[in-house]
Amino acid sequence: MKYLFSIFVLAVTAFASSPAPLPPPDKLLASDTLAVFTITDYGKARADLDRWAMVKLWNDPAMRPFRDKFMTKLKDDLVVPLEREFGVKFADYKDLCQGQVTLAITRNGWEGKPEQSPAFVLLVDTREKSPLLKTNLAMLRHKWIDSGKQFKAEKIRDIEFSTFIFSSEDISKTTEKVLPAPKKNPDKTEPEEKKPPKKHEWLVGQSESLLIVGTSAKEIEKILIRQSGGTLPSLSEHGPFAANYASLFRDSTTWGWVDLKALVDLSLKAPRKGEDEATPQGAINPDKVVSALGLGSLQTLAVNLKDSNEGCLLTLAVSSPESTRKGITRIVSYEARDAGPPPFVPADAVKFTRWRIDLPKAWAALEATLVDMNPAYAGLIKLFVDNAGKDKDPEFDLRKNLVANLGDDLIIWEKKPKDTTLAAVDRPPTIYLLSSPRAEQMAGAIKSLTAFLPQPSKFKEREFLGRRVCTVDLPAAAGASGAGKTGPRMGERTLSYAASGSYVVFSTDQALLEEYLRAADARPLRETPGFAQAAEKVGGTGTGLFGFENQAENWRVMFEALKKESASIEDLISGSRLAGKLDTEEDKKFKEWFDFSLLPDFDQVAKYFYYTVFAGTVTTDAMTFKWFSPNPPGLK
């Protein structure tokens, strides 16, 4: 008996001395948290991550030349300089993550004013690694003080915290050597304004096994109170979060959440330049824009990630009650209808999207949105609608001939680029189908609207298999003058279209348009092996929005183009606004990090690529989007 009593005493003592289980993030964080991203169990998440095809691709021996050069540059140009600057070894901390890893932004009394700011907090549960954490933090403090940097110590609820003080310049002088900020004035006609460095104070401490990093002592104190069982209001008690938790987060290892309503409300409170001045007649009031766009109807954004033996499922939900939707949220709403690929969509399509949006309703919602922004727009809209196309056809009526002929079905698919060049990747053969109850009338209405294109725009008509095919020159895209080193990426384009059955068909690739009009007998996309099973993972094809991407074929072309052209950063983003802000030195640094000539032949790594599907659902409470990536058969 005495031995049993001794064992009982030892057990009770051990239990009493062991740290209490760490509360989940929603129990630790404040009820006014603005945004949070968490991995609730890092060990499990890491095991799931190691199964991902892209992680296995990165670790494949065929990727070693590219990977080694990138990792060497990353270490030499960024990691080592930052370690030297702050007296820290990142490798000392990489194995500390054992339980939850949570990054959050809390309101911290912020009311949108520039002199205020929300609080940032990072929580890492080190579990059995807590002694190592204690040692590393002590070393960090000593190195920081020895380097002469600003430092102060304080206690929060009897727990020691170190405040590390540094400026934004301490980081930027290292990072900008590797990742230069885009030039605001590339032509150097005016001197660039240099902002004074911003001072940062980060509090770092350890509470049992929990590493806490934050910018507000007040917020950290509240976390410590909740950790010890205190009854302060937590995020779990916030109604909108609780609703998302029940439906999305309960069984998820990785999830994120944003309080959209709070952020929109705060943006409306923020002072604006010149707000004391009278608003000029015809000017747009920013508050009215927010209201008209329907941003006020947004409540929360929730995202979660789930892994299984079948693949990876990502779910994103935007809460927005149907009764309050207007503006964008009203325009993009749609009903649950069949959005699967019709039989005429061929299996060699590398991308497919079908959206069952009611276009006449969307047009009406767009008009209402513009008028809500500024009532003066009502007259402008009427002027445009009454006069559109009249110069070519005095009897033309935009509402009758075009809007009334719009349908509720938009279908888009792409085929593999014809060449393995970045220019071809930019412009894959793509076809668009717009449904119409009177397709011939709508095609005629589009012809009348070509008068609005910049002159000179050539318009041609021809017959093809008994159908009238119209072709019109399109204006050059923005950035057309910016060309990569491999030749022009943006140039003159033509758009061809024709009425076919209950659709008007558009394409900038005449060969693809003719292929569709021939109604060639080809294997349908929906008969792709595993397609039906993958579609079920995102809710099926009857949700009103559905898409497919053949990543294997898309990445085959991209790999070959990158490898062949050894692309520069200018090549990759030519045509964008960033392209003109780069110089040869920045481009050289990019190529030193990302040497695409070292990529393997795609066939060596093809087994890591497969396809993805996505679907979107609109309910009375939210708009939900799901992406599913099945595990490639070659890895099973």
Total domains in the fold of the chain:
2
Q: Which of 254, 210, 213, 308 is nearest to 39 (CA)?
A: 254
371 three-class SS: helix
Which domain, by its residues, includes 238?
23-181+196-247
Same domain, 346 and 488: yes
Same domain, 614 and 485: yes
Same domain, 235 and 351: no
**Average pLDDT in the 49-67 region?**
93
Inside any domain, residue 434: yes
Inside any domain, residue 290: no
- Write down the pLDDT at residue 223: 96
- Looking at the predicted structure, is the pLDDT value of residue 11 above 60? no
Q: Give 3-state DSSP helix, strand, coil % of the chain, rounded to 5.
A: 40, 25, 35
Inside any domain, residue 302: no
Question: Beta-carbon neighbour count of residue 196 at 10 Å?
Answer: 8
Same domain, 224 and 345: no
Q: What is the pTM of this model?
A: 0.86
pLDDT tens readout for residues 353-399: 999 999 999 999 998 888 888 888 888 888 888 887 777 778 888 88
Q: Bigger pLDDT: 3 or 529? A: 529
Residue 183 confidence class, pLDDT cut points 50, 70, 90: low
Which sign does the torsion angle of CA 230, 234, 236, 242 carry? Answer: positive
Last residue of a domain, one of 210, 230, 247: 247
Q: Give dist(CA 366, CA 364) in Å, integer.
A: 5
Same domain, 210 and 353: no
Question: Beta-carbon neighbour count of residue 326 at 10 Å?
Answer: 18
- Write down the pLDDT at residue 601: 93
Half-sphere exposure at residue 367, Cβ-oriented, CA atoms within 13 angstroms: 15
- Write down the pLDDT at residue 353: 98
Same domain, 428 and 532: yes
- Write down the pLDDT at residue 380: 85
Last residue of a domain, one of 228, 247, 266: 247
First to last CA, the chain: 56
pLDDT tens readout for residues 264-321: 988 887 766 555 555 555 566 777 888 888 888 899 999 999 998 899 999 999 999 9
Inside any domain, residue 189: no
Element (H, E) at 291: helix 286-292
**Average pLDDT in the 319-326 region?**
90
Half-sphere exposure at residue 335, Cβ-oriented, CA atoms within 13 angstroms: 7
Q: Give dist(CA 597, CA 565) in Å, integer.
A: 8
User: Which residues contact residue 365 at a Cβ distance below 8 angstroms, ignoring those fewer than 6 apart?
Assistant: 326, 327, 330, 331
Same domain, 176 and 50: yes
Same domain, 114 and 226: yes
Q: Which of 121, 136, 128, 101 is nearest to 34 (CA)?
A: 121
Inside any domain, residue 531: yes
Q: Give me the torsion for CA of 547, 551, 553, 559, rounded to 10°.
A: 140
Contact predicate 566/544, CB 8 Å? no
Inside any domain, residue 308: no
**Lowest mean per-residue pLDDT among 313-322, 573-582, 626-635:** 573-582
Question: Beta-carbon neighbour count of residue 308 at 10 Å?
Answer: 12
- Write down the pLDDT at residue 625: 97
Inside any domain, residue 589: yes
**Average pLDDT in the 329-340 region?**
92
Give the Cα-Cα-Cα angle 201, 203, 204 (nearest 5 degrees). Answer: 140
List, in sequence order, every beta strand (DSSP E) within 365-466. 410-415, 430-435, 459-464
- Looking at the predicted structure, is the pLDDT value of residue 583 above 50? yes
Over its C-alpha atoms, the chain yields an Rg (Å, rounded) of: 29
Give the rounded distance of the alpha carbon of 448 from its chain centre. Answer: 38
pLDDT tens readout for residues 487-511: 444 456 789 999 999 999 999 999 9
Same domain, 347 and 215: no
**Lowest mean per-residue pLDDT among 168-172, 326-330, 413-417:** 168-172
Inside any domain, residue 271: no
**Lowest mean per-residue pLDDT among 3-17, 22-36, 100-114, 282-296:** 3-17
